[in-house]
Amino acid sequence: MKKLFTTLTCMALAVLAAPAGAHHSAAQFNFRGPETIKGTVKSIRPANPHLRLVLIVTDAKGTRDIEYEGHSLNNFYRSGWRPDMVKAGDRIEVMIAPRKDGADGGYVTGVRTADGKVFGAPPSGAAQAEAEKGR
């Protein structure tokens, strides 16, 4: 009975842990093909576990809102971000790892503000490999 309980507990933990790993995976982003997107900030939520940014983008597809996710607030803070650097209505450039499926969106790796301040940086080398593994 004890072995059955242990086995069932381990199986339940494995099943419950799978979505958490998928959520934190960056496998859907192409870190080897970075892009720069220009747009106007509709909203920004710099919070842990991930930055959430909605840009109003105008390109060949027209004008639309595109949602991006990014590093944790701690990572951005260490790379130079400070509160109120980016606000709704600001025109910015966003460095992203685009989605591999070609859909709108991507993973924010860096931002250049309207006044030229930059925070974040595209991952490279070991950081890129880790991001692609979903760690």
Q: Is the pLDDT of residue 5 over 50?
A: yes
Read off the pTM.
0.71
Mean pLDDT of 43-50: 84
Which residues of the chain form beta strands (DSSP E)? 35-45, 52-59, 62-70, 91-98, 106-112, 118-120
Mean pLDDT of 83-112: 93
Going along the chain from its start, the domains and CATH numbers come out as 27-125 (2.40.50.1010)
Local structure of 86: helix, strand or coil: coil
Give the span between the Cα atoms of 119 and 110, in whole angstroms. Answer: 6
Q: What is the pLDDT of residue 128?
A: 47
Q: How confident is the model at residue 11 (pLDDT cuts 50, 70, 90)?
A: low
pLDDT value of residue 16: 53
Inform me whether the pLDDT recorded for 91 exceeds 90: yes
Percent of the chain with pLDDT over 70: 71
The whole-number average pLDDT for the span 28-51 is 90
